[in-house]
Amino acid sequence: KQEVTQIPAALSVPEGENLVLNCSFTDSAIYNLQWFRQDPGKGLTSLLLIQSSQREQTSGRLNASLDKSSGRSTLYIAASQPGDSATYLCAVLYGNNRLAFGKGNQVVVIP
């Protein structure tokens, strides 16, 4: 069974600092890894998708890395802003099109 862990569960940072969010998964046989953002009471918004053959993916201030062999991914958010406050979810696609999610990193950016 694929298990996904996100550390830390919650963190607060001052505005302007870089954010580093970690995700680990137990089975390296994945098709891709996806990072989502979820605001309170809202749905999931896809941020970045990393294919299993890729090492990293970038979009604006966001950069995600993937080390499939060690079962790890890291999401970097540069120069954090109060609008980055949200819960960030990591999910891996594996098996018969199954997505396994971590429990999320709850982020608060303090102005």
Partner 1 sequence: NAGVTQTPKFQVLKTGQSMTLQCAQDMNHEYMSWYRQDPGMGLRLIHYSVGAGITDQGEVPNGYNVSRSTTEDFPLRLLSAAPSQTSVYFCASNRARTSTEAFFGQGTRLTVV
Site residues (CB under 8 A) for partner 1?
Answer: 31-32, 34, 36, 41-44, 46, 49, 51-52, 89, 91, 93, 96-104
Give the nearest distance from C-beta 83 to partner 1 in angstroms.
Answer: 19
For residues 16 and 74, give the distance between their C-alpha atoms in angstroms, rounded to a whole number: 19
Nearer to partner 1, 55 or 81 (CB): 55
Beta-strand pair 105-110/10-14: parallel
Give the nearest distance from C-beta 16 to partner 1 in angstroms.
Answer: 30
Residue 40 contacts by C-beta under 8 Å, 6 or more apart in sequence?
Answer: 87
SS3 3: coil
Give the nearest distance from C-beta 100 to partner 1 in angstroms.
Answer: 8
